[in-house]
Each structure stands twice: as C-alpha cells, then as structure tokens.
Amino acid sequence: MYTERVMDHFNNPRNMGEVEDYNAEGTVGNAKCGDIMRMTMRIEDGVIEDVKFKTFGCGAAVATSSIATEMVKGKTVEEALKLTNSAVVEALEGLPPQKIHCSVLAEEAVRAAIENWRERAGEE
Ligand code: FES
C-alpha cells in the first residue's frame, strides 16, 4: 500500500523536533482528520538554514513532513513557497488516494512558517 520511500521516511523521519533559536514557526491542522503539524525554521538572509517538524498525526503525515523538510532545507523562501503537495507526493513515489490530504499539511506548514517569519521581520 505504501511505497518504500514512504516507509523509509516514516520509520526514519528526518529533521524531527524543533529548531533551536528558530525565527519562524507554523502550526497547521488538517480539517479532514484533526491531525496537527508544527514546523520551525531558522531563516537567514532569506535562506532556510534549518528546519524541523513535529507531527501529531498519521504515518503519511510523518513521511510527508519529513521529506518536505529535506526539500526546503537550504532553499530560499521564494523557492520553498513553490513546494506543492503534489511535488511532495511525487518525491515519496506516491501515496494512496485516501492519504493525499495528509500531504497538504506539509505544504501548509511550510507556508505558515514563512508567513510567520515575514510577520516577525515586519515587526522588527
Ligand atoms: Fe490526518 Fe493523515 S490522516 S494527516
């Protein structure tokens, strides 16, 4: 049912936890199931230097968060904002149709964190 890639990221999630001294934070919830994802980032000069996630959710949400952090780490915020849930699903070599909604959390968490960073920058 799940690809090897999904199982790998589920069993060995990358970048799990919270970035020390983060300056961007996004928490999003999935309206369909109530699961929650929190992403923290350290952004320097518009580049995502570090990113970590915590997911209170299903295995597909853990796998998508994990691969999404890998996909945006080292990228500029503009590049990271282009991350779509379909790109995340593609990187995982597919998800079962009933689990596609789980991948939306990762895209939304990245956006929410960057939005938060922009708000903070505006405040300074
Ligand atoms: Fe909730 Fe997957 S079932 S994120």
What is the domain count for the chain?
Answer: 1
Catalytic residue at 102?
yes
- Backbone phi and psi for residue 71, each to the nearest 5 degrees, phi listed first: -75, -25
CATH of the domain at 18: 3.90.1010.10
Residue 123 lies in a domain: no
Among 27, 28, 58, 107, which is best to mutate for testing ligand 1, by the most ligand atoms less than 8 A from CB? Answer: 58
Concatenate the DSSP letters of all residues of 55-75 into one string. Answer: EES-HHHHHHHHHHHHHHTTS
In a domain, 124, yes or no: no
pLDDT string in tens for the chain (124-residue length): 899 999 999 999 999 999 999 999 999 998 889 999 999 999 999 999 999 999 999 999 999 999 999 999 999 999 999 999 999 999 999 999 999 999 999 999 999 999 999 999 886 5
Q: Which domain holds residue 28?
A: 4-118
- For this structure, is 58 an active site residue? no
Q: Are 68 and 108 in contact (CB under 8 A)?
A: no
Within a domain: 57:
yes
